[in-house]
């Protein structure tokens, strides 16, 4: 076994690998960028080495710096985690050439499966079913459009390199093909440096089911059953589970056999995932699944497989890379119970799942697993850490295991309702709504489920009078929460003959709220609120509220929802002149990739004006109203959250010019 390994990654996966390495007595070396200098994975590792500035191209994608750090610290092997360089065969060659061990498959295996078109041709030869479509080398738009017509609409345009939903577009009609192809190519080029695509038939009711495979260097390959990853938004996974709901014995046997056949076809060694698309329009049938791609690395959702099989896949990775045989044979790998993984992100579900940034001023997960369940919290952040615009905005993975699917789903809902995060917009309310959705609860899942129910899943009820009153009471209190954790005790005071009201202003979204908090003669508090809220007495609150106070804000938690209120500084001033003129601001940090309008142009509401690339995904910025453009950002401009992208001519001036 290795004495020391370097982890060429960050965040929760780096922390995850460190935990297993520590259990095995293996020392670890972390690498970090400027933005991650004080990150959790840096603190957890035995050693840490700086590898550059914050952008990934100057740090986590610098294979030369990572190999140099491994050699300088005496590490014998490099674990790539997932993302970054984990599926880069040139990096594997670099590692091996330096005399180090890559904890993963060979460069040849990665190359064989790295490009979707070539991989599908290889799988066809191996007898693995593939999705009908065009997987050729030619990329002329006329040819691709012709192939799309032959396949029959709707079709799916997919980047041949990479994954994660980047460079992917569903096209319903021939007239939309050219625009969708341009967008897919731009996104693929930005994410993977390769703008070539393939075109496939879009399956009407697709299930995304994948099989965990594992091979060693002695010709052995096994599967560890399947995971269902159909709950997706924007082609990215949200909640994964194992085993797949409704899985039949016939389909499982056919699918796992095909997955092992695929792994053996490339002499695969290490952890890998064979991803299949399943047509669930007529139930799950053994002849209605097709190979999509192979991920030649550990998957984000690997914990659900570990939970239902009782394995540690990272330990297996280290053992196989160190030259050992697989720890178990196929007959020794069994299924037990059901597991879910919910990905907790800093994102605004109500705004199309826009990534969010911010400081996690308050971060609290359940102290104990719900009754009858076991739980894992996989995270790479702590309270006080910042969500950076440079990297994926994942905060944590909440993993639950119980005796059956319903018990695990109930426990997942309970754990989400006990999770508290303040300082950034997060998706816990959305995850809880998805877990409670009738179709999801019944196991009737497909990749379109979230899209069909998105409005209901992302809707959050406005705060009740009790929630607003709790926020007002906390905002009116002096200093931090008292040691007793009673947020009201700091308000208690003496008033001769009559109570003294303390005026407090709050802001929730677009709503300004005036609250008057007064102490009653009996020591209780009364919060008088303007319409549409009702006045509330403190003893009427159903229970002691769960809340967090952070600079300039109060967040009150109700279930999985966190209602955040801005507590305005009474001395602060707003620039009314700037507020009077209409403008569109960047919803997140990013790069302006494409500008579709010009200064002086008259535009209409909903018209696309520019495309902002953030976290390697494209976001269209459209006109919020009819008007004339006074200023617009230039292509290639780097912008921060809140930067003015488009400024409109003031209405009066616009009429004069007309």
The three state secondary structure string of 369-409 is CCCCEEEEEEECCCCCCEECCCCCCEEEEEEEEECCHHHHH
Axis crossing angle, helix 89-97 with helix 63-73, rounded to the nearest 10: 30
**Whether the bond into 154 is cis, omega within 30 of 0:** yes
Q: Closest by alpha carbon to 400, among 434, 368, 380, 375?
A: 375
Place of tokens 């959050």: 460
∠ CA 68-71-72, nearest 5°, is: 85
∠ CA 511-517-523, nearest 5°, is: 150
Interacting residues of 534 by C-beta distance below 8 A, sequence separation 6+: 465
Can you name the residues that pair with 221 across neighbouring β-strands? 215
Active site residue 297: yes
* Distances 481 to 8, 182, 349 between C-alpha atoms, Å: 41, 54, 30
The Cβ of residue 50 has, within 10 Å, a number of other Cβ atoms equal to 15
The Cβ of residue 136 has, within 10 Å, a number of other Cβ atoms equal to 13
| Token pair belonging to 631 | 């200023």
The Cβ of residue 289 has, within 10 Å, a number of other Cβ atoms equal to 23
**Whether the bond into 145 is cis, omega within 30 of 0:** no
Is the CB of residue 210 less than 8 Å from the CB of residue 168? no
User: Would you mind telling me the total number of residues written for the chain in this entry?
Assistant: 658
Q: Closest by alpha carbon to 237, among 321, 164, 181, 338?
A: 164
Task: Please tell me which residue in 233, 297, 319, 549 is annotated as part of the active site.
Answer: 297
Axis crossing angle, helix 249-265 with helix 116-125, rounded to the nearest 10: 110
Q: How far apart are CA 287 and CA 277, in angstroms?
A: 12
**Helices (H), strands (E): how many in the chain?**
18, 38
Q: Closest by alpha carbon to 431, among 627, 231, 244?
A: 231
Active site residues: 297
């Amino acid at each position: 076994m290795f004495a020391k390994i370097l982890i060429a990654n960050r965040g929760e996966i780096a922390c995850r690998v460190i935990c297993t390495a520590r259990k095995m007595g293996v020392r670890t070396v972390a690498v970090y960028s400027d933005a991650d200098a004080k990150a959790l994975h840096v603190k957890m590792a035995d050693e840490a080495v700086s590898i550059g500035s914050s952008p990934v191209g100057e740090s986590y994608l610098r294979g030369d710096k990572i190999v140099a750090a491994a050699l300088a610290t005496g590490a014998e092997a490099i674990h790539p985690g997932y993302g970054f360089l984990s599926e880069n065969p040139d990096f594997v060659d670099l590692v091996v050439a330096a005399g180090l061990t890559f904890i993963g498959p060979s460069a040849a295996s990665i190359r064989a499966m790295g490009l979707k078109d070539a991989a599908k041709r290889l799988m066809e030869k191996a007898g693995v079913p593939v999705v009908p479509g065009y997987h050729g080398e030619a990329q002329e738009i006329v040819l691709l459009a012709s192939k799309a017509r032959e396949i029959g609409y709707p079709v799916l345009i997919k980047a041949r390199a990479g994954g994660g939903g980047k460079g992917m577009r569903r096209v319903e009609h021939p007239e939309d093909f050219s625009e969708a192809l341009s967008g897919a190519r731009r996104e693929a080029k930005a994410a993977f440096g390769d703008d070539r695509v393939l075109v496939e038939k879009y399956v009407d009711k697709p299930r995304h089911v994948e099989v965990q495979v594992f091979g060693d260097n002695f010709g052995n390959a096994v599967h560890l059953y399947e995971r269902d990853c159909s709950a997706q938004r924007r082609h990215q996974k949200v909640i994964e589970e194992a085993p797949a709901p409704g899985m039949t014995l016939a389909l499982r046997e056919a699918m796992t056999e095909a997955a092992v056949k695929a792994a053996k076809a490339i002499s695969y060694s290490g952890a890998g995932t064979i991803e299949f698309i399943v047509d669930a329009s007529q139930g799950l049938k053994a002849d209605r699944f097709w190979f999509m791609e192979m991920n030649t690395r550990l998957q984000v959702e690997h914990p659900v497989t570990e939970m239902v099989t009782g394995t540690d896949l990272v330990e297996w990775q280290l053992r196989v890379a160190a030259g050992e045989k697989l720890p178990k044979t196929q007959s020794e790998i069994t299924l037990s119970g059901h597991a879910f993984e919910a990905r907790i992100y800093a994102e605004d579900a109500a705004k199309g799942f826009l990534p969010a940034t911010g400081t996690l001023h308050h971060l609290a997960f359940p102290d104990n697993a719900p009754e009858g369940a076991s739980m894992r919290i996989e995270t790479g952040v702590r309270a006080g850490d910042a969500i950076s615009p440079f990297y994926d905005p994942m905060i944590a993975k909440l993993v639950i295991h119980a005796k059956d699917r319903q018990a695990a789903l109930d426990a997942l809902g309970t754990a989400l309702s006990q999770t508290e995060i303040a300082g950034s917009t997060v998706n816990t309310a959305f995850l809880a709504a998805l877990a409670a959705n009738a179709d999801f609860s019944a196991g009737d899942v497909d990749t379109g489920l979230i899209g069909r129910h998105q409005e209901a899943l992302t809707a959050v009820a406005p705060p009740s009078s009790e929630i607003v009153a709790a926020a007002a009471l906390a905002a009116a209190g002096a200093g931090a929460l008292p040691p007793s954790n009673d947020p009201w005790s700091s308000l208690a005071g003496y008033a001769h003959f009559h109570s003294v009201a303390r005026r407090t202003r709050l802001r929730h979204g677009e709503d300004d709220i005036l609250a008057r908090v007064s102490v009653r003669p009996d020591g209780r508090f009364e919060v008088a609120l303007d319409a549409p809220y009702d006045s509330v007495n403190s003893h009427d609150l159903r229970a002691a509220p769960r809340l967090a106070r952070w600079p300039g804000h109060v967040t009150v938690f109700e279930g999985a929802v966190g209602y955040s209120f801005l507590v305005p500084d009474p001395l602060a001033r707003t620039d009314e002149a700037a507020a009077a003129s209409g403008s569109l601001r960047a919803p997140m940090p990013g790069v302006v990739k494409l500008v579709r309008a010009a200064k002086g142009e008259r535009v209409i509401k909903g018209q696309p004006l520019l495309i902002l690339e953030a976290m390697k995904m494209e976001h269209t910025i459209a006109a919020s109203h009819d008007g004339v453009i006074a200023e617009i950002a230039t292509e290639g401009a780097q912008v921060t959250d809140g930067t003015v992208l488009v400024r409109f001519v003031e209405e009066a001036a616009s009429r004069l010019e007309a």
